[in-house]
Structure 1
């Protein structure tokens, strides 16, 4: 097994915590998820109103004396807040349909100009059981009704066909007229309650700062850190195994020593577990802290924290740091970060400069797989250029 890559550079001495008996962890005020914009909702509502009227022609043979083009009005009826009546033409509305029965719907109400009532009508002959007959059903489109406009069918049914059918019984038949009035569309605000974003991270941060109910202590870099086993175990499979698996740390009351990690890094690690955010760090120290924290995240199997650190390190890749970051990414299985380093080194100029750094010698001796990847990153772009020339 090749030796591990060189450790990340030590954090600046001026900002490293000094040994004390106990330590309260600082909580960052910058938390993801805050500041969600308020929302609202509304609806566009369309409702139709329906009703029907049964028109019975009792004494059909007597109505045939009514001349073509003349009608008999039904009694008025109400649907959708409007008054309507039917026009029954026993001998048709026009000479063209003199052999047919015509039926029309008329609006009795006076409406303002440009404010016609929109409705559609279905005329159905009723059988002896009171059910509409589909073969003798006709439906209009949606039309504008006013006092001057009636809508229906001039050829609802031929008289000869009706007279030969079983539906004319005792010189009587019935028609069902379904009227559907289309309402005016209108907008309506939908009541809603503004739900604030989750502040669970704040509660956990307060719990950590207050030390209420802590049940485990860590001794790191001369400092003592208090925490809750269940919270750490909920995030980290490694902590879960240590506290609740067959390991002595699960029952020990003594502080757990961590000798290969700096107090500042452990503070950031535990703060992240409780608050899902990183402690504030100075721009010039971000690269060093991200390297240390990436190692800690890999140790405790915190994959999201690893990706956060890898993302920060991508912004610090340069000719002097790329070899160290590449070795770190390879050692701790950060594939995205490793790919970013290889893309940077695919430039011959960047590679030449990186070869002069101290970390390159380490890569050559201890990371043959990485060296192969670097070689491939150089060969592939050149092949592409050659094909482009041809």
Structure 2
């Protein structure tokens, strides 16, 4: 059977309140390329799992459930038990990355009613082309997580309601970027080339709008537009934010450097929300080694909160000598003398007293 659930993936159901039982299940699709022989409308069934006192299983349609969705992967969450009463559950289905973290723009949440064995919730999960071009398919495998909360009615009488799912526009635009469908502009950043959609870039950034449609468009009519003074990884993260309003995950030790580069890029393309996100992240990464550099960056790009956070850190630091060591002072003198002047005016009055023998 090419579909199997991870042995460690079944989360034990846990009571979240007086009226609900919650749990999760992780399903790993092994040998994805082999499952593609399953015809449209046919599925592979997973092993059953239990959440909320009810047995469930998943039906995986490698070539879609209907003829209209033959280019997509479909998933059904199905009751494996016969039940006396309908089961109402909040269900989240999400693709996981290689570190088993959820991929925000491939995640869907809704509340559904399940009436009987074999009756389930249908989802057009992802286009095969998008999955196959993504980093989430590795070694011919990909992973999906199911989070369920079975809702128990406290009152017998049920009030009709409409459940509005959370916004998922970011997921659709993320698919558009990763599939490259309809792209009409390309950028060269270092040795890499990126494809995008002019309208999306123009809608998100007034700078891109001017370059692609305004007075500056003549300079952007070539087949490939060069982007100078930016690393390919940074431009990739910038595009991800433009399309999804979210940033890709980075390793903790790389977060500060990426935030610094993205702050510069956000200021360059007038992406104010991204700039504030980077400013917030950098406020948490100020330390002895980075304080002077981040201070200069904050001053240059008019980040008032970040600038004050750096000055406060240096002023209150018990190790001011190391923060203000020669190399960093020379950097400020050569690059941002106004920053050095402001720094000295705030720090020097609070500097610990030194005897002449130490001067």
* TM-score normalized with structure 1 length: 0.49
Unaligned stretches of 5+ residues in structure 2: 1-96, 112-155, 352-359
Residues 248-280 of structure 1 show CA distances to partners (whole Å, capped at 9, x for unaligned) of 457614100112111111000001100111111
Residues 150-172 of structure 1 show CA distances to partners (whole Å, capped at 9, x for unaligned) of xxxxxxxxxxxxxxxxxxxxxxx
Distance 1:235 1:372 in 2: 37
Post-superposition offset of 1:350? 3.8
1:252 paired with 2:217, answer: no
- Structure 2 vs 1, CA of residues 194 and 259 (structure 1 numbering), >3 Å: closer, same or farther? same
> Which secondary structure does the structure 2 equivalent of 1:306 belong to?
helix
Count of matched residue pairs: 211
Structure ID, larger Rg: 1
Distance 2:270 2:304 in 1: 15
Post-superposition offset of 1:369? 2.5
- Structure 2 vs 1, CA of residues 222 and 251 (structure 1 numbering), >3 Å: closer, same or farther? closer
User: In the alignment, which of 98, 104, 112 is matched to residue 31 of structure 1?
Assistant: 104
Distance 1:381 1:189 in 2: 66
> Which secondary structure does the structure 2 equivalent of 1:209 belong to?
helix
User: In the alignment, which of 319, 322, 336 is matched to residue 353 of structure 1?
Assistant: 322
Distance 1:363 1:36 in 2: 50
Equivalent residue for 1:146?
A: none
Residues 171-214 of structure 1 show CA distances to partners (whole Å, capped at 9, x for unaligned) of xxxxxxxxxxxxxxxx9754211111011000000011111111
User: In the alignment, which of 367, 370, 383 is matched to residue 339 of structure 2?
Assistant: 370
Post-superposition offset of 1:321? 0.8
Distance 2:261 2:227 in 1: 14
User: In the alignment, which of 253, 274, 279 is matched to residue 305 of structure 1?
Assistant: 274
- Structure 2 vs 1, CA of residues 366 and 221 (structure 1 numbering), >3 Å: closer, same or farther? closer
Counterpart contact for 1:294–1:310, Cα < 8 Å: yes
Equivalent residue for 2:299?
A: 330
Higher relative contact order at CA 8 Å, sep ≥6: structure 1 or structure 2? 1
Counterpart contact for 2:329–2:340, Cα < 8 Å: no
Counterpart contact for 1:216–1:253, Cα < 8 Å: no
Residues 265-298 of structure 1 show CA distances to partners (whole Å, capped at 9, x for unaligned) of 1000001100111111011111111111111111
Distance 2:349 2:166 in 1: 48
User: In the alignment, which of 188, 191, 201 is matched to residue 219 of structure 1?
Assistant: 188
Unaligned stretches of 5+ residues in structure 1: 1-25, 39-186, 383-390
Distance 2:324 2:268 in 1: 30
- Structure 2 vs 1, CA of residues 252 and 283 (structure 1 numbering), >3 Å: closer, same or farther? same
1:265 paired with 2:211, answer: no
- Structure 2 vs 1, CA of residues 357 and 325 (structure 1 numbering), >3 Å: closer, same or farther? farther
Post-superposition offset of 1:358? 2.4
Post-superposition offset of 1:332? 1.1
Distance 1:244 1:275 in 2: 22
> Which secondary structure does the structure 2 equivalent of 1:31 belong to?
strand
Counterpart contact for 1:249–1:256, Cα < 8 Å: no
* TM-score normalized with structure 2 length: 0.53
Distance 2:259 2:207 in 1: 20
Distance 1:241 1:210 in 2: 26
Counterpart contact for 2:211–2:220, Cα < 8 Å: no
Counterpart contact for 2:110–2:163, Cα < 8 Å: no
> Which secondary structure does the structure 1 equivalent of 2:181 belong to?
coil
1:344 paired with 2:313, answer: yes
- Structure 2 vs 1, CA of residues 357 and 278 (structure 1 numbering), >3 Å: closer, same or farther? farther
Distance 2:220 2:321 in 1: 54
Equivalent residue for 1:45?
A: none
What is the aligned-residue RMSD (CA, Å)? 3.1
